[in-house]
Chains A and B, each alone.
Chain A
Amino acid sequence: MTFVGILMVYLVGAGILTRISREWTWKELIAFSFLIGIAAETFFMFICDVIGFHFNSIVLFFASFAVVAMFYDSMFTYWQNKKKDINLGTWTLKTLNYPSVLLGLVIFYMFYIITQKNLFWPTTEHDAIGSFDKLGIVMALEGVIKISLFKYDLQGAGGIYPPLFHGSIAYLYQFGATQPKIITTLYFVSLLLGFYAMCRMYVSSLSALFFTLLLEMVPELYSHAALLLGNLPTTAYVGNAALVLFVWLHGREKRYFILSCILTGLCLWIRSDTIGFALAGTIIIGLYSKSEIKWRQAGIYLASALLPFIIWTLYLKLKIQTTQGSRFVDHMGAINMVKLKLMLSYVLSYFSWVQYGNMPPGIQLYGLTFMLSFLVILANIRNIKRDKPYILIFLLISFAVYFMIFYLIDEQKQNAPIASLMESSFKRGMFCFIPPLLFYVCTSDIVASLTGRLEVFRTGREAGMKDEKTVQQS
C-alpha cells in the first residue's frame, strides 16, 4: 500500500513535468518528480481541508489518478522517446571510467548506510515528536490540516509552517506506512540526483560525482538524512529551485524557468522563511536574464513564488487564527549591537574552523564546504564578473534576508535566546546555501578548467566544460 502511494507521487510529478516538456533527462525526471508529486498531494489535502472534505488514502489516490490520466499521453510520449536512454553505455574493462565508478560506489555505499540507519530507528528527534511527526499522524487520522490539537495549542512549533513537510508525512501514514522516515530518504535522493544532473550539464561525470559526494557528506546534512526534520526537505526544494534557475540564466531552455518558478513556489509551501531565496531569484532574473521581457519574467517568478506564501498566510489568519509573524519583534528600534555581534560571531564560526559558543566549528558541521568555496571564489576573483556572478548575488541577497529574519525574531516570544537559535535553527537553515555554493564552485572557470585538464589526461580527448555557445547550439 505504501509502495502504491509512493508510486503515485512519482507518477503525478512525472505527469506534470512531461506536460511542461518532454526533453528532461531521466535523472531530472526522477529527481524533480518526487518534489513536485508530493507537493501536489499536499495541495489536494489543502483543497479538501478548505472545502470541508476530509481527505483519506482513497480520495488522494483518485485525485492522483485523475492527474496521471490527464497527463498520460505526455508521459507515454516521453517513455517512447527516452526509453532508449536507459542503458549502461558501451564500455570495456580497459576504457571504464574507474574514478567515476569509485566515486559512484562511495556515494551509493554512504547513502545505503544512512538509509539503513534512517529506516531502522523510529522517530525520536525532539522537533519531530513535538511537531512534524505528530502533525502528520494526527492529520492522517483526522483527515484535516487544522487538526484538533490547535484548539489547545498542542500542535507544536511546526503548526504554523506550511503543510508540505508534515503533509507528506500524513500522506505516507494514510497509505499505511509504519515508518514515515522513508520520506527523508526520498528527499535526499531528489537533492543528490538533482544536484548531480545539473552539474553534469557543465562538467564531466568525474567532477559532478566528486561534488555530489561533497554535498552528500556535509556532516550535519548527512546526519539529517536519518532524521525526520524539515531542513533536508527544504534544502532539496531550495537547492534544486536555485540550480534550475541558474541553468536557465546560463542560456538554457524555458522549461528550466518554468520548473524554477514551480520549485521556488514549493520552497514557500514547505517553509515560509525561504522567502529570501524567492526575492534573490527575482532580482537576479531582473538583472541577468537575456530576454527583452526580463522584468516581466521576474514578476512571473515572484508571483509564482509568493502565491503559496499568500495562500498559507490567509489560511493561518482566517482558519487557524494565528500569523506567521507572531514570533517577530513588534517594532524596529535602535540596532541591537550585542545581538548583531553575537550572530556575526556565530556566522564566522560556521564559515571557518573558529569555535564560538557551545557549537562545533564550521569545519565540523559543514566539512570543507564553505572554506573550499571561499578559496575558489578568491582564486576565481579575476573572472568574478564574467563567471556566473548571478550565483554569488543570489547567495548574498538570500543570506542577508535569512540573517535579517533571525535578527528580527523576538527572543521572548520565541521562548529561546538567540544563541540557542543560532546553534539550532540557524545552523540547520544554512543547508539551503550549500547546493548553490557547491554548484558555483563545481562549474566555476577555475575548477572546470582543472577538471577539464584532468579529463584530457584521463581519456586523451578534449571533452571539458560545455560552454554557453555549445549549450545553445545543442
Chain B
Amino acid sequence: MSEQTKKNTITDSQVMRRNLIITFVLMFILMLLYAVIPGYNYAVKEVAIRNKEKIEEMETRRLNFNLPEISWEMKRQFRIQDYWYIQTIQDHTPRNSNTVVLLPPHSAIDSTEEFNLLSSSEWMEYFLYPRLCVSEDEKETKKELYAKVTHVAIVNNWGYDKLKYVPYSKPSEAVLSIEKPKEDSTKSVDQPLKKFMWTDSSAHRSDFLNQ
C-alpha cells in the first residue's frame, strides 16, 4: 500500500498512551450516544440486552429444573398467542390438499386479541399447508375454494351454523368437519381445547419464565 508515511517521531510508550487516551474518549462517545440518542438506547437495551437476558433466563430455568430442550413448538406457543388453536386445527384435520378449512370472519374475532390473525388465510396457510384455508370474509372473492370447504374453525362459538349437522356439544372453540362424521368428536371434548397451563398468553409467558 502506498500510504504516505513520515518518520515516526514518538516512542512506542507514547503511542500506547495516546491510543489509550483515544480509547477512553471513544468509550465516552459511545456511552454518550447510548445515553442521549433514544434509538441507540432502544437498540442496545431492548432489542439486544433484554432479549439476551430473557433467553438466558429461560435456559437457566430449564437447566435448573432439568426440563427438556425448549422445542420449536414451545417457542411458537410463547410468541404466537393463538398457536394452541392452530395446533388444534392441525391435529383435527387430515394433512392433504383436499382439506379446506373455513376460517372465521374478522367480525367474529375482533373482540378477542388472542385470535386477531385467525381470519387471515394468507397467514394461516403457513401453518396449515398442505391443507388449504379460506376465510368467511373471502366468501365472495374466493368462491371456488369456499365451495370446497371440508372443515370449520369454530372460534368464539362462531361457525356452528356452517355445519350440516348438530354436534353433540358446542364448545366455544373447536374444529369440526362440515359433513357429519362417523363419530362426533365433540362427544369426547370434556376439557377446553386450550391447555390448562395456558389460561391466557400473558399468564402463559410468566408461567414459562417462572417454572
A interface, CB within 8 angstroms of B: 92-99, 102-103, 106, 110, 113-114, 116-117, 120-122, 124, 126, 129-131, 133-134, 137-138, 141, 148-149, 152-157, 178, 206, 210, 217-220, 222-223, 226, 363-368, 454, 457-464, 466, 470, 473-474
Query: Count of A-B contacts with CB under 8 A?
Result: 162
Inter-chain CA distance A154–B138, complex, in Å, is 11
Whole-angstrom distance from the CB of A423 to the nearest CB of chain B? 16
* Cβ contact of A149, chosen from B9, B79, B120, B125, cutoff 8 A: B125
Q: Is the CB of B27 within 8 A of A124?
A: no
**Which candidate, B11-19, B169-177, B187-195, is the interface stretch facing chain A?**
B11-19
Q: Is the CB of A134 within 8 A of B18?
A: no
- By a CB distance below 8 angstroms, the chain A residues around B133 are 154
Inter-chain CA distance A222–B46, complex, in Å, is 11
- By a CB distance below 8 angstroms, the chain A residues around B123 are 126, 129-130
A113, A153, A460, most chain B CB atoms within 10 A: A460
**Which candidate, B49-57, B106-114, B149-157, B158-166, is the interface stretch facing chain A?**
B49-57
B1, B22, B48, B121, most chain A CB atoms within 10 A: B48
- By a CB distance below 8 angstroms, the chain A residues around B37 are 363, 367-368
- By a CB distance below 8 angstroms, the chain B residues around A218 are 39, 43
For this complex, 14 residue pairs linking A to B, each with C-beta atoms less than 8 Å apart, are: A94-B13, A94-B15, A98-B22, A98-B23, A99-B22, A138-B129, A152-B134, A155-B122, A206-B22, A218-B43, A460-B10, A461-B5, A463-B3, A466-B1
Q: Main secondary structure on chain B at its contact with chain A?
A: helix
* Cβ contact of A462, chosen from B6, B15, B44, B49, cutoff 8 A: B6
Inter-chain CA distance A80–B111, complex, in Å, is 66
Query: If A217-B43, A363-B37 touch, does A113 touch B122 (CB 8 Å cutoff)?
Result: no
* Cβ contact of A364, chosen from B33, B38, B129, cutoff 8 A: B38
Inter-chain CA distance A220–B10, complex, in Å, is 43
Closest chain B residue, CB of each to CB of A470: B2
- By a CB distance below 8 angstroms, the chain A residues around B6 are 461-462
Q: Is the CB of B40 within 8 A of A367?
A: yes
Whole-angstrom distance from the CB of A97 to the nearest CB of chain B? 7
Whole-angstrom distance from the CB of B139 to the nearest CB of chain A? 14
Q: Is the CB of A113 within 8 A of B72?
A: no
Whole-angstrom distance from the CB of A156 to the nearest CB of chain B? 5
Query: Does B132 belong to the interface (CB within 8 Å)?
Result: yes
Q: Is the CB of B121 within 8 A of A113?
A: no
Q: Is the CB of B4 within 8 A of A99?
A: no
Q: Is the CB of B8 within 8 A of A94?
A: no
* Cβ contact of A148, chosen from B19, B39, B97, cutoff 8 A: B97
- By a CB distance below 8 angstroms, the chain A residues around B26 are 99, 102-103, 210
Query: If A152-B132, A454-B22 touch, does A474 touch B2 (CB 8 Å cutoff)?
Result: yes
- By a CB distance below 8 angstroms, the chain B residues around A155 are 122
* Cβ contact of B15, chosen from A117, A368, A458, cutoff 8 A: A458
Whole-angstrom distance from the CB of A135 to the nearest CB of chain B? 10
Inter-chain CA distance A459–B18, complex, in Å, is 8
Closest chain B residue, CB of each to CB of A121: B75
Inter-chain CA distance A154–B129, complex, in Å, is 10
Q: Is the CB of B23 within 8 A of A154?
A: no
Whole-angstrom distance from the CB of A214 to the nearest CB of chain B? 9
Q: Is the CB of B47 within 8 A of A223?
A: yes
Whole-angstrom distance from the CB of A137 to the nearest CB of chain B? 7
Q: Is the CB of B117 within 8 A of A126?
A: yes
Closest chain B residue, CB of each to CB of A204: B3
Query: Does B20 belong to the interface (CB within 8 Å)?
Result: yes
Query: If A97-B19, A124-B76, A153-B142 touch, does A365 touch B48 (CB 8 Å cutoff)?
Result: no
Whole-angstrom distance from the CB of A3 to the nearest CB of chain B? 20
Closest chain A residue, CB of each to CB of B79: A124
Q: Is the CB of B126 within 8 A of A129?
A: yes
Inter-chain CA distance A219–B38, complex, in Å, is 9
Closest chain B residue, CB of each to CB of A147: B129
- By a CB distance below 8 angstroms, the chain A residues around B18 are 457-460
Query: Does B30 belong to the interface (CB within 8 Å)?
Result: yes
Inter-chain CA distance A210–B142, complex, in Å, is 53
Closest chain B residue, CB of each to CB of A134: B126
- By a CB distance below 8 angstroms, the chain B residues around A114 are 47-48
Q: Is the CB of A124 within 8 A of B80?
A: yes
Q: Is the CB of A470 within 8 A of B4?
A: yes
Q: Can you name 11 extra interface pairs (CB under 8 A) apart from A94-B12, A99-B26?
A: A98-B16, A99-B22, A110-B44, A121-B75, A152-B144, A156-B122, A217-B43, A454-B22, A459-B8, A460-B15, A474-B1
Q: Is the CB of B47 within 8 A of A219?
A: yes
Query: If A96-B19, A122-B76, A129-B126 touch, does A113 touch B132 (CB 8 Å cutoff)?
Result: no
**What are the 5 closest A-B residue pairs judged by CB atoms, nearest first?**
A460-B10, A219-B39, A219-B43, A94-B12, A367-B39
* Cβ contact of B16, chosen from A93, A133, A367, cutoff 8 A: A93
Whole-angstrom distance from the CB of B7 to the nearest CB of chain A? 8
Q: Is the CB of B4 within 8 A of A462?
A: yes
Q: Is the CB of B39 within 8 A of A365?
A: yes
Q: Is the CB of B39 within 8 A of A462?
A: no
Query: Does B168 belong to the interface (CB within 8 Å)?
Result: no
Within 8 A of A (CB), among B34-82: 37-40, 42-44, 47-49, 51-52, 55, 72, 75-76, 79-80
- By a CB distance below 8 angstroms, the chain A residues around B129 are 134, 137-138, 141, 149
Query: If A156-B122, A217-B40, A364-B39 touch, does A121 touch B47 (CB 8 Å cutoff)?
Result: no
Query: Does B209 belong to the interface (CB within 8 Å)?
Result: no
Q: Is the CB of A154 within 8 A of B121?
A: yes
